[in-house]
Amino acid sequence: MNETANRLLEPYFGYGRMRELFCDRGRVAGMLEFEAALARAQARVGLVPAEAAEVIGRHCQAQDMDLDALAQAIVLAGNTAIPLVKMLGRQIAAESPEAERYLHLGATSQDAMDTGLVLQLRRAVDLLEQQLAELGEQLSAQARRHAATVMPGRTWLQHATPVTLGMKLASVLGSVSRHRLRLQEMRHRLLSLQFGGASGTLAALGEQAWPVAEALADELQLSLPEQPWHTQRDRLAELAGWLGSLAGTLGKLGRDFSLLMQTEAGEVFEPAAPGKGGSSTMPHKRNPVGAAVLIHAGTRAPGLVATLLSAMPQEHERSLGLWHAEWDSLPELCCLVSGAIDQASQLAAGLEVDTARMLRNLEQTRGLILAEPVSVELARHLGRQDAHHLLEQCCRRAVEQDRHLGEVLHAEPRVTEHLSGDLIDRLLDPANYTGQAARWVEQACREHEQLQRDMHNG
């Protein structure tokens, strides 16, 4: 076991699948994929003998690289590509000194590192899309299941008018769908070849520069940008901003559900499991440990996004330090958000709902949270201002006399003059005042389903 690895926390924060993509071996594999493709591309245009390209490609195997030796060499080299190319060159030269002459031809270290990163990000984007599709499925199913599950709405942490649990879940689902659309829209810009040579001109390749670039982009199935982007980091910053925004959405989900798990609310709970959410000293505790991961991601992500944004004003044609600041920040951000999506899916899939508690909580204010519909109905007869003022008086009387608002309204002549007893009771029924909540659920679910079809067909 590597004693410096973060083995204690990574399982909790759920980085596993994404961390595999951004491990040291994965970083090396991305750069080697670039080197092999470069040799093939140059062979396609006649710049490199096909035999040499074949030898180079055969040696571009991450499992053959000594990562410990690379780590030590990077300390002096200042980046991962320089010692990697040297190590690869020695392996190739042992078989064919002729082939070694064509390794890394016309490229610079940043070409290998940035394109290698893009290749990792392609797999990361695929994983994120898969995870978001799974989360969307869970949210959609639960939103429909609880489309009519009435609960207190809360504004400024106080009871407002009734909402439904399905509506709350549909709002998250809508945000997830928009994040998926944004990811698809930026995908072409992000998955872009970096190939500029020493200063971005590809001068070392002469007239063959553009044909090689076209062939290389084709080999790697990346878009060919209008020019190299060595120190134009908007592509990576755009992804970072997207990840940060998604972390915010997940953080809100975690925050809301942790509040709903509070003893004073007790309306919605994370799925139970043996030993989950316990306390070291209090046997009764059931802590929102999954929601904590979502809040953790929403808290950490903005700092990592800020690092990527701060690293954008890079000097001239190659940056000193700002480029370096991206190397672990962007992978960490991907891992952070990926882990949070996994936790969100688990939370959504196994959600436990106490509908009886929701109804009891709706009655905590003894009818006060439904003063609005009564006021709206009275306004038809008295006008808005007078109706609002009358309801304020009735609410104050209910609180002072510790009575249900309905009891006060039934006893108030200025109310019963215009509203029947049955109408008052209907107006004070939370199930009759959820407005367009069911529509919001259906729209969010339909949008998700259409997105699923588009992604499957596209």
Q: Active-site residue among 279, 380, 396, 446?
A: 279
- CA nearest 230: which of 111, 133, 385? 111
Question: Angle of helix 109-145 relative to helix 165-190, nearest 10 degrees?
Answer: 160
Strands 158-164 and 268-269: unpaired
CB 278 within 8 A of CB 285: yes
Enumerate residues 6+ apart whose C-beta is below 8 A from 144: 166, 441, 445
Enumerate residues 6+ apart whose C-beta is below 8 A from 404: 366, 367, 398
- CA nearest 305: which of 254, 251, 345, 253? 251
Note the helical H segments in 22-66. Answer: 24-44, 50-59
Tokens standing for 379?
Answer: 């306004």
Q: Is 140 a catalytic residue?
A: no
Q: Active-site residue among 101, 318, 403, 414?
A: 318
Neighbours of 439 (CB within 10 A): 12
Degrees, nearest 5: CA angle 37-42-45: 130
- CA nearest 300: which of 261, 327, 340? 340
Region at 239 (left for phi over 0; alpha for psi -120 to 50; beta for the rest) = alpha
CB 336 within 8 A of CB 300: yes
Q: Is 279 a catalytic residue?
A: yes
CB 18 within 8 A of CB 127: yes
3-state secondary structure at position 223: strand
CB 399 within 8 A of CB 408: no
Fill in the amino acid letter for 1: M
Please tell me the distance from the alpha carbon of residue 145 to that of residue 271, in angstroms, as a whole number: 16
Catalytic residues: 279, 318
